Amino acid sequence: MQVIPKSPIWAQVESASRPGSLYDVRVEDERVTCTCPHWTYRMSKVPDGRCKHIDAVSIYYTANRGMFDGTQ
């Protein structure tokens, strides 16, 4: 899954089911949000809910230390 970093608190991930469409993964008020339907309609109601896009971004930023936690 391709991750496109935009800022320390914002990345985009290409949809696996809809190539060419991008979902926004952001850090907002200490919680990570995603604009995909799965997160919007289901995981947003779950404490610390994550989707595969959030997981992909988390892995990417962990591998590229200093980003996504605002320290870059």
For Zn ion, the binding residues (CB under 5 A) are: 34, 36, 39, 51, 53
Q: How far is 39 from 45, CA to CA, in rounded Å?
A: 9
| Residue placing its CB nearer to Zn ion in the complex, 11 or 34 | 34
From the CB of 48, what's the least distance to Zn ion, in Å?
Answer: 14
Candidates 63, 49, 50; CA nearest to 3 is 63
| Residue placing its CB nearer to Zn ion in the complex, 3 or 51 | 51
Beta bridge partners of 25: 11, 34
| Residue placing its CB nearer to Zn ion in the complex, 4 or 71 | 4
